[in-house]
Structures are given as structure tokens and as C-alpha cells.
Structure 1
Amino acid sequence: MIFEVWAPKATAVEVDVLGGRRSMSAGEGGWWSAEVAEAGHGTRYTFVVDGDGPYPDPRSRRQPDGIFGPSAVYDHARFTWSDHDWKGRDLRGAVIYELHVGTFTAAGTFEAAVERLEHLVELCVDFVEVMPVAPVPGKRNWGYDGVDLYAVNETYGGPDGLKSFVDACHRAGIGVILDVVYNHLGPSGNFLRPFGPYFSGFKGSYWGEAVNLDGPGSDEVRRYFLGNAVQWLRDYHIDGLRLDAVQAMHDRRARHLLAEMSEEVDALACSVGRPLSLIAESDLNDPHMVRSLDAGGLGMTAQWDDDVHHALHCAVSGESHGYYADFASLSALAKVLTSGLFHDGSYSSFRGRTHGGSFAGVPGHRLVAFLQNHDQIGNRPAGDRLPIAALKLGAGLLLTSPFTPMLFMGEEWGARSPFLFFSDHVEPELRESEGARREREFDGFGYVWDAPDPSEEETFLRSKLDWSEVKEEAHWSLLCWYRDLIALRKALPELSDPRLERVRVEVDALGKWLVMWRGTLAVSVNFAPESVTVPLSAGTVLLASDEPVVADEEGLRLPGQALVICRATSR
């Protein structure tokens, strides 16, 4: 086989393989190569650059001994797929389920996650979104400290484990979205620097040094990330990518990397004959992100929508600290349900400036909305989740909204386990400073920071889901509520209609109730602990979170903290 590596400034590069170093030949564009006929699938190897090293391959497909060990040759063609009938799944009309492989099950592996797919089938979700799987330091991590971006974390099951998981999901009728991080690399085990100008030389974000997307030598750096995106979609049969914090991708070129990626992925979709999605996490509130390439946009299929989360969270929790301050009233919730965003050019008190642009004309399915996700739970000091009563109301609004809804693992039954921030850095200075670094990151967010040590194994173990909870009456009841809401969303076209201009919202001046109109369907919510009367002439009640619901001459009377979906007209 032929070993190749890009090292444009090197004067000598060697591959250390099969017990000895072999000189590599310089080629065009800074690429070096060497043919080693006796090497094959599973062969361990490293590179030595100008006498320094050994280093793993920047494009390593497998790191069997972790991020500090050698790379291993991995032949994608050796895996036997059984998803030949899989035609893919479009994001439109879909429900997404986010999970972290290490805490989704007790074993924390792809194999164990496959055993829980029947639960997701019965829940009727369309996609699972898997948090990053690139190799990380130690045995536990959220995944955003990844290095060796072409490889798969061995503690989860390595590349074959991921393929088996995707294959099983497709057989179950579920698409797979993979969370990838292209705005920075982890601080430990990142060996890209000796090979070439992968970094810009300045701190690009709170999380690390900026990746070189627009400086000298950046053509090949861009191809590194474009090739990585294509690998997941082509070789692992992944159906879409969630791109982490794209606002931290510093790219001043005339054509942004995201636009290039969108073009590459569109071409690949034509080749593989199935839809492929790119979902950006962006806090810019910029409609340019999801506009098509031919309209001058970046061509993202969708983007995460934190504004919907903030408004829903405030309405069901009563919190108003930090960045929640602007979202504390029901009028904010009404705005996001009808406009997609709250900060669409409005003043953001948290940022101290105006923020965002209008998403008028953008269909709601291009906005991925959620009541909970890994960030919004895990960025709280105690990693605490919403209680069951709040989840009932929030889920009722989320799953009848015009957006693409996303659930976070365990939310559907009101899991009591927290989702804490955890890591397992090898270097003592990183390990000992992680808690303090995390506290600094959230300075000004309005929390009293009393978080457990991220480096302690117990922090990780506490974050694992306890599947036995599902059998308890209150949790089972909530799970049935989520199942019914998703089933109703899929049965009634009004509830998946993405046209924001067709959504109407009425709110009570005293902040007790809200009605969201989806055609002739009224989604009525009482946020107050006492019963209220909503001015509706109700017809058939389709779904109710609580009983009794009484319709009389004054309107629809709702119990305290209840949500009702019915055919109705305004009074």
C-alpha cells in the first residue's frame, strides 16, 4: 500500500512501519509518499518529520491505542453493509434525537446503543444526532476536545462500531446525523502543527486556536476538513453533519468554507442517491447561513435555533438570569413561534448590542429547535434537567411548532440523571485546571458556579441514563405523552407545516396562557398553577396533558400547568 502525508515545509519525512523507518518521496503540493507492499489493514504506523516524532497520521482512520499511539491502516471496503435499501431521509418533517454514546447506555458503546434502537423506533423519531466521536484524551469526554478527526473513538467501538451502529439505524428506518468540530482541535494530543500550517496563530475562540482557513497554505487545510466531511457521509453512510460553533470558523475568503462544503455535499448526494444534510450551530442569527448557494447564501440545510430554546425555557421554568433576560415574557415566546428568532435585529441585553437579522421567508424546517440539548443542560453547573411538569408543556409546544424539533436523550421520560460536563485529560495541568476553566467560560451567565470536578469519573458516571426509570409511572406517562405528540405531528399536516407566516399566537396580558394556532388547530397552554379560561370555542379535543378540560360559554377551561390541542375557533 501507499502511505501519504502532507508536510509542505519539511525537508525529510519518514514512515515508521513494520519495525523500521522508510524514507518518503516528495511530490507536488507538499505531499510525501512511500509504497510499502507488505503493509495492509491493521498495520500500525507513524510519521517522522525532519527527525521529530513519531506522530500519528493527520488523516489517521484508526487510533487503536488512543491519541498518543500509532495510527493503524483501515480499509473501509472490508466492512459489509446491509443497508442497501436505505434511501435516506429528508430533514423536512423530521424529529431528531440527540445522544451521547458514552452516557446513552451503561456500557457506553455503539453496540449497546443499538440495543436501545427499538425505544427510538417506538418514539417515532427520524434521526439520531450523535455527539462527536473523534478520538479524545482519556476514556470520557463530551467529544469537543477531539483530535485525529478522521478516526473514531475506540472506547465507543472504533470505526467498525460506528458503521455497525449506522447500519442498524438504517435497518430500523432511522437516519444518523454526526456532530463534527471544525472550528478548533482539542488541547491534548493535537499533532497537526509539525506537519503544516493548520492553525492561524491566534486564539480563535474560547476553546482554542483558530484553524487556518484563509492564510498561506490554507488550500490544503480546507481540503482536510472538506475531505473529512465527505468521509463520514460516503464511507460511514452518515446522513448529515451537525457543524459545531461555525461562528468560530475564521474565514475571510470570498467563498466561505461552509459554501464549499455545501457544494461538495450536494455533489456527493447526487452520487450516492440519497439526501444529505448540513446543520450549522451558529449564534449569529444570520439568515445567510441557510439561504441556498444560488441565492448567495452558505447553503446549510438548517441551523440550530437557541432563541426558541430560551423562550420555551423561560416560559416553563420561570428563569430569567443571564442570557434568558430578554426571553422572560410570553411575548418573546410568541415572537419566536411566529418569526423563528427573537433577536432578528433587536437589542440583546446579554451582548449589549443589537443582534441578528430577519428570517422572513425562511421555512421553519430550516431551524432546529429544542427544549433541551447537551449544551443547555450540561452548561448548567449541576447539569440539571427540567422537571416533568415543565417538560410536558415545553414538549407540547415544541412538537407542534413549525420548526424541526430535536429531543435530548432521556428527555422523553423525564430522566432524573443530570448531564454534567466531564473530561479525562492525561496531562496533570489540563486535568487540574479544567474545573476552573469551565467556571471562567460561564462567568456572567448568572449562575452560582458549584459544579462537580469534570475530571472525576463519578461526574461521568452520574451522567449516564438510568433506563429503569422508564418503568416508573410518572416517567412512563411522560414517555407516552411524547409518543402521542410525535404521532399527532406526523398525522396532522398542520403541525409540520413550516410556513411561519401561517402561525398565529395569542397571549394573555397577565402571562398566564398562550394559544398557538396551526390552521384550525389550537395549541392552548396554561403556564399558571391555577386553572384559567382561554377564550376559545373548542371542538374536538385531540390531546390533553391533564384532565379535566371543560368547554363552556366562557371558553376553554384548562387545569393548572396544562396543554390542550383541539380543533377550535377564537371567541
Structure 2
Amino acid sequence: MQHVHPMPFGAMVLGTGVRFSYWAPDSAEIGLELGAHPPLRMTPDAEGWHRLDVLQARAGDRYRFCLPDGTRVPDPASRRNPDDVHGSSEVIDPRAFTWHDDAWHGRPWTEAVIYELHIGAFTPEGSFAAARKRLPDLAALGITVVEVMPVADFPGRHGWGYDGVLQFAPDASYGTPDDLKAFVNAAHDLGLMVLMDVVYNHFGPEGNYLHAGSPHFFNAAHQTPWGAAINYDGEHSRTVRDFFVHNALFWVEEYRFDGLRMDAVHAIRDDSRLDIVEEICAALCNGPGRERHIHVVLENDANGARYLARDAEGQPSMATAQWNDDLHHAAHVLVTGDTDGYYADYADDPIGHFGRALAEGFVFQGQPSPFRDGERRGEPSAHLPSGAFVSFLQTHDQVGNRAFGERIDSLADPALLRAAYACLLLSPHVPMLFMGEEYAASTPFLYFCDFGGELAAAVSAGRRAEFGKFASFADETDRARIPDPNAASTFEASKLHWQERQHGPHRDFLAFVSELLAIRRRAVRPHLDAQRGGGRHWRDGEALRVEWPLGGARLRLLAHFGRKPLTGIQPLAGPLIYSVGLAPDGNTLRLAPGAVCVALQENDHG
């Protein structure tokens, strides 16, 4: 079976030859440079498209577009740029790859257990092919969704991927388009869904030639940290919107991804009545979503619950879920005691905030944020099912934004950290692990990139200056110890050491996580389809209690994050599915620090 997403942008292999298309409404003439031949004049139309059918062109040919001033630029919709973002594009025929997952229709969201990974750092080789060989380990762990950090072509040999400039081209440092398709196909064979992380709020600072060739891609009326915003609502915005709608469909239809994770949608500037997030969700739902399960996960610092609305049957009306930073921040304060920066918003009552996040999703549902100088943040979310929230204790951001990329197990009280994992993995939330987290990897995940020239120096200096705001880095000597993002050693240090899984405390932690995921799959998952809204939480002295109605069942949690034992605590109603740190104390319980118990009462009508 072959899968092709037809689109008006870029190079499309026809029955005979190739059709090349470039959008430049301000240019009277655009040329096509095909291989070493002199540029061919493309035919413009009234809507700003320049097109040319070349009968002798074939898959594998290299090409560039020639602007009126003589500048040669890669195709903004290139399917592959073998020589990085400044080089020529390559004609790719999607029909060259044969898929073997015809019976795959995805999985319902209530089965989701997510694993976020970076292709370059996931294995020593840092390739799609090497990552594919590790997929059986994830399936055996109990993972059902692999979320791939952005692979859209970015400048240099390595980077996080959030500075991509060629949205349709998998970065050549990871392999070919067919290598990525083989990765997705292998995941489906193992019952794994795959989400692609996409960045629709900006282009990277190096290698973006759209300003020169198609300036209408940007709208100066909206300014962002990256300059003029992508033009989703100004003059000529229809074509720009189509570019990104096609990109979303491209990854899902041509690469068979099971959905998208949309980065930082709060940074998108779009005043349209139907904004671009809503339009993309609708296009996926009404297109490939009619034939298989397609999911959209948002990152939205604004806590916009409206994107997560459910219909009468409990199905998503727009996005499927959102990353829940609130739960992470509250848990981080709870288990590490860290109250610096944005953690200050959760320092006054970390147990209460963690409980609210578990029960209702967002902590900030419209109240003022002290860290944001009193700015109100968020929308009410208690009416949403817990599956609307992807919750976690680590992500690429929360590890990599630390100066030395430390993972949480090197910062937290071990007993409290294990308690937090039990609360997360046995809750109705969709849990997510960051690569290596399942075995408490010793390797850091640092911020790395590979820019050139002055930009490289500016990024390196800016990274260290950013940490100068913290007391621990007030001294210039301390800041100098922060790894240089552009150094190859910074990237190499971030690669996982897979052999750790087999030894000592790493092996023990892997067994702990595996046990929790097995309990989740066996006891919690069968009831998640029935959940229609959130739960409730309250304090029992220093202990935390949370209860979630799951149709005719009730899931109950009791956890103690204090530093001293608690006595006189009433047991949970219903059979226990997990417990640690509990001891009988007459008719009550004694809870050790880090104690957790979870009970599931089925056929409950109370």
C-alpha cells in the first residue's frame, strides 16, 4: 500500500515528470534550477503561484527556486534536503515506500501511555533506523504512544528540533523519509501509536528563506519573540493557513502518524474567528480521522480549556488533550522543595495544588499568577475528563531547561518521588514518560543546537546570561560551567546509555515503573471510557485524598508527602490495587513518608 498526500506546494511527482510550485505573490518571475541546468522560467498566475511541469524530471533530482534578485533558495515544502537547510531540495516520490500496516486503525485515547523521545539522543546512532530497533522495549514496558520531538529540517547536525525551517522534510541527519516511514510502520506492527511534534508558532532563526521569497508568510501587525508572527490572519493568509493545514495532513496521511503534538500554541498569533488550531483539528477529524483514531495534543501555557471540549458522547470536539505543566510544577515543588522561578506559583500549598491538578486538570483556572505579576491565567477545567490532560514528572523542557540538564531523580527525595510516580501512573490522566525516565537514566538532557557564525555565539552567550538571574549563577565563573549548546560534547552527553537498564538501581526503577503500568493496564484502563468529568480532592490532615468517578466505579487515592509518619488515617473504601508505606494502626492506618494506596470500587452507586 502506498500513501501520498497531494498538495499545491513544492514538488509533486506526476505520472510523467514532476510539477514544481512556489508561492510568491509579490514576484513577477521565479525560476526553477533543476540540477546543474540553467534556471527555467516558471509560469505565474493571478493568485501568486509560480508553477512548471518538467517532463524529464524524476525522483532523486535536486532543485532550487531562483528569486528575482538571483538568490537560490530551497523549496519551503521540500520533502527532503540532503545537504541541510541551505542546500538544494530533492524530489521525493512518496509512492516508493510500501506500507504493511493496512489493518492499523490506531487506538482509543483512553489506552494512551506516552513516551517522549528525541531521535538523535535516543540511541548512540541517533537515527530513525536505530530508534526503530528499540521500539519493542517500549512496547514491552507498556507504552502505547511514542511522541517524537520535532524532526522538521533544522540547521546543523543536531538540535532539539524546535528551530525547524523546512516543515515537510525530515532532518537528513536522522535518515531518509523512507527510514522515518519504516519507523512508524514498525511501531504500528507493535501496537504503538506515534505522534509527531510540530511547531506552528515560528520558524527557526537560520535557514528560513520565506522572508525573501514569500514575505506575506509573516504579519508584522503581530510581533512575537521571534519577530513578525506567521501570517494566519492578515492579507494573503489563506495560502499561509493552507500551508500548515497541509503540513498537519501530510504527517498523518503520507507518514501515517497517529496525530500531532502542537508546540506552544499560546505563542500563535491569530485573531481569526476559526483560529488555525481549530482549523487543523477539524481538518484531521474530518479527513483521516474518519477512518482511524487521530489525536491532537496541545502545549498551551494559557491553559485554554475551550480547545479540550467534549461532545455529548465524551469525544473531543477539537483537541484530544493538553500537556499539563501545572501538575508537573506542583509535583516538582512537592518532591524537591524547589521554589525558584515559575515554581513560586505552587510553593504556598504544593500538596493542595498537586491534588487539584490530579482531580481537575489545571491548577490555574483563571486565578492570578504571582509569578506573572498578577496576570490571570487559565480557564475552568473540572468538567473535563482526566484524559484531556497529558501529565508527567519530566519532559524535554523540564529537564533540558535546567542549566545542567539534571533529571528529577537527582533532585528529589526518593520516597516522595516514587509516591509521585504512583499518583501519576495510577491516575486517570494520560501519563507521559521522557526517554530514559523509566529506568532513572543517569544521562542529562541538555539544551543543544548547531548554529553557525554569529548566531552560534549569541545563543551560547544568551544561554549563560539567562541563568545569571538565578542566585546560584550570579558569579560569572559559575555561569561559565554551563555547557555550551553548540558544542558537540553537549549533544553527545545527552544520549541515553541503554545498558543502564540492566544494572543496579536503574533495573529496580524500571521494574517499579513496569509494575505500575501493568496495574494501570489491568485495573484502571477498563474504566476510563466511562469518565465524563474530573474528580475531587481534599486534605486529610497532612495526607492527600483524591477521588475520581469512572462511570459506575470510583478510583480513590491516598498519599502522604510529609517528612514524618502520620497516624489515625482512615482506610480507603474499596479493594486496594496498589499500596506502599501503610501499616495497620488499630482501626486506622499509619502512613510512612511517601506512602500511597489506590483503591478501585466497582459498581459503585454512591
User: Which band: TM-score by shorter chain?
Assistant: over 0.9
CA contact 1:345–1:357 (8 Å) conserved in 2? yes
- Could you tell me which residue of structure 1 aligns to residue 589 of structure 2? 556
1:130-529 matches, cutoff 5 A: 130-196=148-214, 197-201=216-220, 204-270=223-289, 273-291=291-309, 299-328=318-347, 329=349, 330-353=351-374, 354-387=376-409, 389-426=415-452, 428-439=453-464, 448=473, 450=479, 451-493=482-524, 496=528, 499=531, 503-509=535-541, 511=542, 513-518=543-548, 521-529=555-563
Structure 1 residues 275-321: Cα deviation after superposition (integer angstroms, max 9, x where no partner): 111111101112112226999x9811211111111111111112122
Cα displacement (A) at 1:34: 1.3
On the 8 A contact 2:19/2:51 being kept in 1, the answer is: yes
- Taking a change above 3 Å as real, the CA distance of residues 293 and 32 of structure 1, as seen in their structure-2 partners, is farther
- Map residues 27-66 of structure 1 onto 2, 5 A cutoff: 27-66=45-84
Distance of aligned partners of 1:63 and 1:447 in 2 relative to their CA distance in 1, 3 Å threshold: farther
Distance 1:521 1:246, change over 3 A: closer
CA displacement at 1:533 relative to structure 2: 3.0
1:103 has 2:135 as partner: no
Take 1:205 and 1:482, find their aligned partners in 2: how far apart are those partners?
40
Normalising by structure 1, we get a TM-score of 0.93
Kept in 1: contact 2:560–2:594 (CA 8 A): yes
Letter aligned with residue 384 of structure 2? V
Distance 1:441 1:249 in 2: 23
Question: In 2, distance between residues paired with 1:527 and 1:104?
Answer: 32
Q: In the aligned structure 2, how far is the partner of 1:208 from the partner of 1:275?
A: 36
Change (3 A) 1:559 1:51: same
Residue of structure 2 in register with 1:565 after alignment: 598
Return the alpha-carbon distance in structure 2 between the equivalents of residues 447 and 267 of structure 1.
Answer: 51
Give structure 1 regions of 4+ aligned residues with deviation exceeding 6 angstroms.
Answer: none
Aligned to 2:142: 124
Residue pair 1:521, 1:567 contacting (<8 A) in 2 also: yes
2: CA distance between counterparts of 1:135 and 1:557?
Answer: 55
Q: Any idea what the Cα deviations from partners look like across 1:195-249, whole Å, max 9, x if unmatched?
A: 2211123674334541111111111111111111110000000001011111111
Separation (CA, whole Å) in 1 of partners of 2:106 and 2:278: 22
Could you tell me which of 530, 535, 539 is aligned with 2:569?
535
The answer (yes or no) to whether the contact 1:135–1:153 under 8 Å persists in 2 is: yes
Alignment partners' CA distance in 2, 1:306 and 1:361: 18
What is the distance in 2 between the residues matched to 1:82 and 1:117?
Answer: 17
> Residues of 2 paired with 1:447 and 1:202: CA distance?
39
* Cα pair 2:359 2:382 within 8 Å, conserved: no
User: What percent identity do the matched residue pairs reach?
Assistant: 38
**Do the aligned residues in 2 keep the contact of 1:321 with 1:446 (CA within 8 Å)?**
no
Asked whether the 8 Å contact 1:182–1:225 carries over to 2, the reply is yes
The normalised TM-score by structure 2 is: 0.87
> Which runs of no fewer than 5 residues in structure 1 stay unpaired?
none
**Separation in 2 of the partners of 1:391 and 1:226?**
41
Compute the displacement of 1:568 (Å): 8.8
Letter in 1 for 2:586: E
CA contact 2:384–2:534 (8 Å) conserved in 1: no
CA distance in 2, matches of 1:464, 1:446: 29
DSSP-derived class of the 1:332 partner:
helix
Contact 2:422 2:596 in 1 (8 A): yes
Counterpart-to-counterpart distance in 1, 2:221 and 2:289: 38
Q: 1:262: how far off?
A: 1.4
Q: Is the 8 A contact 2:24 2:50 kept in 1?
A: yes
**Ranges in structure 2 where 5+ consecutive residues have no aligned partner:** 1-17
C-alpha root-mean-square deviation of aligned residues, in Å? 2.5
Moved more, 535-544 or 474-483: 535-544
Q: Separation in 1 of the partners of 2:511 and 2:220?
A: 52
One-letter code aligned to 1:561: G
- Residues 400 and 496 in structure 1, CA contact (< 8 A), matched pair in contact too: no
Match of 2:33 among 16, 37, 41: 16
Q: 2: distance between equivalents of 1:567 and 1:221?
A: 50
Number of aligned residues: 562
